[in-house]
Structure 1
Amino acid sequence: MANNITLSQTDDIVVVTMCNNEQANTIDVSFCEGLLKVLNEVKSSQQHKAVVLRANGSVFSAGGDLAEILERLDRGAGSLEALIDAFHRMILAIRGLPLPVIASIQGPAAGAGFSLAMACDAVVAVNTAKFVVGYPKLGTSSDGGLSFQLTRRLGPARALDIFLRKEPLSAEEASLLGLVQRVTDAASLDDTSFELAKMMSSYPTAAVTEIKSLIGTLCDDGFAQHLEREKQAFLRCASTTEFRASVARFVHQSAVRKR
């Protein structure tokens, strides 16, 4: 499959793998459109009862592709807005999927990668995984619904603390907060993720869909409106000189490390 995404199926569990590990599974428009297509295919199929979202390489996702963001800044606010819109359509598709979606985290999940993990219904993480907000260091607010998810799950004070803290969340800390449902070692990650997916898929699909809807993980009330608020806040931050300078610095540092 194109866009560095592969799809496999075991019984009624579909495994979606991000395999752009050379770029740390960063999120760009091509990735968003590719994953959205996969999710729509899964939703329309009658063959699947659960989804595992995983990644190759040492990083689950380093977040937004900063080189693309910098390029889009040069093209104007409308170009950057198109990237955020593509990301948010993908996030809404995950949230609207009637099947359980399990994120299998083998390494750092940063920025938009953290948002992507939190959009899933459950998270399985290796004990060395890290969850990094990242946005304030770039001089911006969040996207992908991260502010919605953390506030809803943890309350405003704790969500703000996580957003503004210097250190990333460890897998153990995230587990204690209820953001991660299983912590395991690297050798057992795939099996643990599959076992959780299998358990969740053991119930009739109609029952799971209704339960997700009642709990609010399916088409959350106000979630789409919150994504729009996040986008507008992000765009306001992106118009500042601090944001542009921070993104340019990160892109330069990344290029130096690759030499």
Structure 2
Amino acid sequence: MNSGLKFSIQDGIATITLDRPEHGNAIDLPLAQSLLKAAISCDHDSSIRCVVLTGKGTLFCAGGDLGAFVSAGGEISGFLSGLAGTLHLAVSRLMRMNKPLVVLVNGPAAGAGMSLSLIGDIVLAQRSAHFTPAYGAIGLSPDGGLSWQLPRLVGLRRAQEMLLLNKKASAQQAQDMGLITRVVEDGQLEGEGYAIARTLAAMTTPALGRVRSLLLQSYGNSLEAHLEQEARHIAELAAEPHVLEKVTAFVDKRSHPSKQEFRHG
């Protein structure tokens, strides 16, 4: 991978780490390009069963690299078009891949960093983390899917307040409003996050992929179109040999409970 990002795979779990701690893991073009390459690898590598996204150091991600914005000078419009476009390809891959995504928010997330922090299926944040849209402070509008995610996660009114007033949310407030899955005490994020990742990696990846796809489509589909997609997905998954094996084993276990289960049943 290019500079600014670390990518590793162990026991079926891919870890993507934003690795510019001296810059608050701010997103410049090399980092966005590296993130896209990592996302493509996660999408296509069949050995990967779950993906973890996190940051190195005390921040998850400070957003776009403002120094790079300044360096672009009069070409800033074209520069931001390219930067956002690359980032968006990575976000789309990570959200549409056939593997679950766990995001571990190890510190403050702002701007595009806040956008990235919300794309996971499971999002854990350290108690010391916080979330800030930040775009209004520099006269810009959101990127990275933030204006798409926020209304779906917290409702339109709360999204309007956060984006228009550049309102910061603590980790606890983020949990209370449904912005993240759960707050984790500082120092416990990695342990709890990878426990979840291992659980997901041990499950049936194609089924998890179909769940991700159905949930992503749920806001755009009509009821009838979504019911049709559910019927197609469950039928296609049922054609896999391991499904019948799992169902048979489950029925057999229920039909022949252990003595201990019988005593408590």
TM-score range, shorter-chain basis?
0.7 to 0.9
Equivalent residue for 1:103?
Answer: 103
The one-letter amino acid paired with 1:142 is: P
Equivalent residue for 1:94?
Answer: 94
C-alpha distance in structure 1 between counterparts of 2:76 and 2:110, whole Å: 25
What secondary structure does 1:212 align onto? helix
Structure with the greater alpha carbon radius of gyration: 2
Equivalent residue for 1:205?
Answer: 205
Equivalent residue for 1:74?
Answer: 74
Q: Are the counterparts in 1 of residues 111 and 142 from structure 2 also a CA contact under 8 Å? A: yes
Shift of 1:23: 0.8
Q: Are the counterparts in 2 of residues 95 and 217 from structure 1 also a CA contact under 8 Å? A: no
Summarize the Cα distance change of 1:141–1:166 in structure 2 as closer, same or farther, 3 Å threshold.
closer
Q: Are the counterparts in 1 of residues 132 and 166 from structure 2 also a CA contact under 8 Å? A: no
Q: Are the counterparts in 2 of residues 102 and 122 from structure 1 also a CA contact under 8 Å? A: yes
Shift of 1:120: 2.1
Equivalent residue for 1:150?
Answer: 150
Q: 2:139 matched to 1:139?
A: yes
C-alpha distance in structure 2 between counterparts of 1:65 and 1:166, whole Å: 18
The one-letter amino acid paired with 1:82 is: G
C-alpha distance in structure 2 between counterparts of 1:72 and 1:162, whole Å: 28
Superposed counterparts of 1:166-205, under 5 Å: 167-205=167-205
Q: Are the counterparts in 1 of residues 106 and 126 from structure 2 also a CA contact under 8 Å? A: yes
The one-letter amino acid paired with 2:98 is: P
Q: 2:131 matched to 1:127?
A: no
C-alpha distance in structure 1 between counterparts of 2:2 and 2:34, whole Å: 7
Shift of 1:114: 0.1
Structure 2: give runs of 5+ residues left out of the alignment.
222-265
Identity %: 31
Please, what TM-score do these two structures have when normalized by structure 1? 0.80
Q: Are the counterparts in 1 of residues 2 and 33 from structure 2 also a CA contact under 8 Å? A: no
Shift of 1:18: 1.4
Summarize the Cα distance change of 1:130–1:3 in structure 2 as closer, same or farther, 3 Å threshold.
same
What secondary structure does 2:147 align onto? helix
Superposed counterparts of 1:6-25, under 5 Å: 6-25=6-25
C-alpha distance in structure 2 between counterparts of 1:180 and 1:62, whole Å: 18
Structure 1: give runs of 5+ residues left out of the alignment.
223-259
Shift of 1:80: 2.5
Equivalent residue for 1:229?
Answer: none
Q: Are the counterparts in 1 of residues 43 and 94 from structure 2 also a CA contact under 8 Å? A: no
Shift of 1:190: 0.3
Equivalent residue for 1:164?
Answer: 164
Choose 91-100 or 169-178, whichever is displaced more: 91-100
Shift of 1:217: 6.8
The one-letter amino acid paired with 1:175 is: Q
Shift of 1:83: 1.6
Shift of 1:16: 1.3
C-alpha distance in structure 1 between counterparts of 2:205 and 2:164, whole Å: 39
Please, what TM-score do these two structures have when normalized by structure 2? 0.78
What secondary structure does 1:186 align onto? coil
List, as ranges, runs of 4+ consecutive aligned residues in structure 1 with deviation greater than 4 Å.
none
Shift of 1:178: 1.5
Q: Deviations over 1:24-70 (max 9, x none)?
A: 10011111110111111121111111111111111110000111122
Equivalent residue for 2:38?
Answer: 38
| Count of equivalent residues | 221
Give the structure, 1 or 2, with the largest relative contact order (CA under 8 Å, sep 6 or more): 1
The one-letter amino acid paired with 2:2 is: A
